[in-house]
């Protein structure tokens, strides 16, 4: 029942978000423009246009006697374009990054053996991420020791399972003395 309520809440939130986007506010228009510009500027056609502009600029050098103004035109133009593209590309990158995080969160949430504590891992500090990385290095080392491609462990269980396995190895094994008695 709680899952159904959660799904209804998520679906309601998404529907409200979509209707808010239809209002054509600045944010919605910027997001659409950024997506279009990012797609267009990432194309081979855009690259060829940029190369053509540079070639034309270079060829006009003798006409303008390689003046300071001639150099200033290309410097100013490229600086302005670069400045604006930083914001457009960053907006697109933020959206893509969020989408990837949500997809990974869904995979973590649906896998019963995965640690749900990793769902908001992107909100951790660099130091916390480095600490978490050490646990995954331990997992890797444990899996390597087991020499089994199909073994799987979560961060939460890695140390506990490893200690349990070590404790089993340290217990003396009963020895059979040959007449059926165990010592």
pLDDT in tens, 90-117: 999 999 999 999 998 888 888 877 778 7
pLDDT in tens, 9-41: 777 877 777 666 566 788 888 999 999 999 999
Across the range 64-84, mean pLDDT stands at 96
- Tokens representing 31? 């997001």
pLDDT category of residue 66 using cuts at 50, 70 and 90: very high
* pTM (predicted TM-score): 0.59
**What percent of the chain is modeled with pLDDT above 70?**
73
Taking 90 as the threshold, does the pLDDT of residue 65 lie above it? yes
pLDDT in tens, 40-61: 999 999 999 999 999 999 999 9
pLDDT category of residue 71 using cuts at 50, 70 and 90: very high
Task: Identify the pLDDT of residue 81.
Answer: 95
């Amino acid at each position: 029942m709680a899952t159904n309520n959660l799904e209804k809440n998520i679906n309601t939130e998404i529907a409200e978000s979509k209707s808010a986007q239809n209002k054509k506010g600045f944010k919605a228009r910027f997001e659409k423009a950024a997506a279009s510009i990012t797609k267009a500027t990432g194309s081979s056609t855009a690259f060829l246009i940029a190369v053509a502009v540079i070639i034309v600029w270079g060829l006009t050098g003798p006409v303008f006697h390689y003046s300071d103004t001639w150099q200033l035109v290309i410097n100013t133009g490229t600086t302005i374009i670069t400045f604006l593209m930083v914001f457009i590309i960053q907006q697109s990158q933020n959206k893509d990054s969020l989408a990837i995080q949500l997809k990974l969160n869904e995979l973590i949430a649906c896998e019963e053996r995965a640690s749900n504590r990793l769902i908001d891992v992107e909100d951790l500090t660099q130091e916390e991420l480095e600490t978490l990385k050490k646990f995954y290095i331990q997992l890797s080392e444990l899996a390597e020791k087991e020499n089994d491609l199909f073994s799987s462990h979560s961060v939460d269980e890695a140390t506990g399972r490893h200690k349990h396995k070590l404790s089993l190895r340290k217990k003396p094994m009963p020895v059979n003395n040959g007449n059926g008695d165990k010592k």
